[in-house]
């Protein structure tokens, strides 16, 4: 971790960190008030500068660790502490895993539900992230490319990122050179990178027009780096425009190849994706009729439709089309129906859900409040929830349990190493089923 920045000396305190909070900051108490200190672990005695009010306490800036706690370790990345991409590289494995699991275990009691039967955390390692969003800025004689500094819009220029799969990490330096040619001083861009099974998929998002010169330079870069696809997008463009598609990016979904539209959602790691498919498939068991809601490109729908009849519902037309294409190409054929539908505005009603033995729902971070309410009114015997937000999951779980379901098991999964984010798969059943 880089050395803490020099700051003014007023309102400095010495405190002992008691726990790690939901955002990944250490929490201490000063005169009875919670103090939130980033980059600390339980047992650390630290010197910190009190800052602005936060929640029911005060934020504080770490000035130095006077005595380290037992859960501390050296970070894996030289940019840690400045780069805002990671929050918890300084925490050892045992402390980190226990904390992440606790994020899920404690979320349900806050909604008045009992602590669930919870499996051990499934945790990926460094070098497994296959997608990232990099921030770029042109400066006088070069371009900076990396991630925002914590609580700032300043771009931290990174030389490497131990989270990324090697093929993506190797693209950082060449992409920085590309931005130097594309951006003037002060101009910004965001580069979304993803590693498909057959090569890297890159989207450059910028306010600049896609001129002929830029198009030519981008196509040459895609060829030189053997990218699967390179696209350009401005705020005015509803979808990215492929500039060079040398081959359509594909992912493998438990033996079913699926195409990725530009900008489509992709699970952060291949290992995590495989865990999710295994967990959901095992939960569905021998269910013959399955509804897969918020289905994406078919992470669950495609493999499950080899043995069950699956109705996949997805609001994004491009991702729904990718599912249809994958199903049509599969041999032997898949029993998959695909519907384009905005489930936030028009959830599947309880009467529609009566046709299914099992329902899977995997919503974005805000959760699926309206859809959960319809499921709760339905007679579906089995519900499998996949979530990347314990708080909204707990809210939706409360709705399901109020409707008569019980939580059978929760499995936590960490695809966002060294961050405060955690995923889960939860199984709900109606008593007697």
* 388 has catalytic annotation: yes
Closest CA to 273 of 80, 55, 141, 425: 425
Output phi, psi for 184, to 5 deg. Answer: -85, 170
Catalytic residue chosen out of the listed positions 123, 297, 388, 401: 388
Listed residue (406, 400, 425) closest to 415, CA to CA? 425
Q: Name the residue with tokens 């108490």.
A: 29
Catalytically active residues are 388
């Amino acid at each position: 971790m880089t050395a803490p920045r020099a700051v003014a000396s007023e309102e400095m305190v010495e405190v002992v960190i008691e726990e790690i909070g939901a955002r990944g900051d250490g929490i201490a108490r000063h005169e009875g008030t919670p103090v939130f200190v980033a980059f600390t672990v339980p047992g650390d005695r630290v010197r910190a500068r009190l800052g602005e009010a936060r929640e029911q306490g005060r934020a504080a800036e770490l000035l130095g660790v006077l005595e380290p706690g037992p859960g501390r370790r050296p970070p894996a990345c030289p940019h840690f502490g400045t780069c805002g991409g990671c929050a918890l590289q300084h925490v050892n494995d045992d402390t980190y895993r226990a904390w992440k699991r606790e994020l899920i275990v404690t979320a349900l009691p806050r909604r008045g539900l009992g602590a669930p039967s919870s499996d051990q955390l499934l945790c990926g390692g460094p070098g497994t992230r296959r997608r990232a969003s990099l921030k770029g800025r042109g400066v006088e004689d070069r371009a900076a490319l990396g991630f925002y500094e914590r609580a700032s819009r300043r771009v931290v220029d990174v030389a490497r990122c131990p989270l990324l799969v090697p093929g993506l990490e190797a693209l950082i330096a060449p992409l920085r050179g590309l931005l130097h040619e594309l951006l003037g001083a002060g101009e910004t861009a965001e580069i979304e990178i993803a590693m498909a099974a057959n090569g890297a998929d890159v989207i450059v998002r910028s306010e600049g027009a896609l001129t002929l010169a830029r198009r030519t330079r981008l196509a040459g870069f895609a060829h030189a780096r053997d990218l699967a696809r390179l696209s350009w997008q401005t705020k005015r463009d509803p979808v990215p425009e492929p500039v060079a598609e040398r081959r359509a990016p594909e992912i493998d979904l438990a033996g079913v190849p699926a195409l990725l539209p530009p900008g489509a959602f992709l699970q952060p790691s291949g290992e995590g994706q495989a865990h999710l498919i295994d967990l959901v498939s095992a939960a569905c068991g021998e269910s013959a009729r399955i509804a897969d809601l918020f289905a994406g490109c078919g992470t669950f729908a495609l493999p499950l439709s080899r043995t069950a009849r699956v109705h996949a519902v997805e609001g994004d037309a491009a991702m729904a089309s990718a599912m249809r294409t994958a199903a049509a190409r599969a041999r032997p054929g898949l029993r998959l129906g695909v519907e384009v539908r905005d489930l936030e505005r028009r959830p599947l009603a309880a009467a529609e859900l009566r046709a299914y033995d099992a329902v899977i729902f995997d919503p974005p971070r805000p959760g699926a409040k309206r859809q959960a309410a319809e499921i709760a009114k339905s007679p579906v015997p089995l519900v499998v929830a996949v979530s990347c937000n314990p708080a909204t999951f707990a809210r939706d779980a409360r709705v399901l349990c109020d409707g008569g379901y019980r939580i059978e098991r929760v499995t936590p999964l960490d695809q966002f190493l060294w961050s405060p984010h955690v995923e889960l798969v939860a199984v709900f059943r109606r008593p007697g089923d």
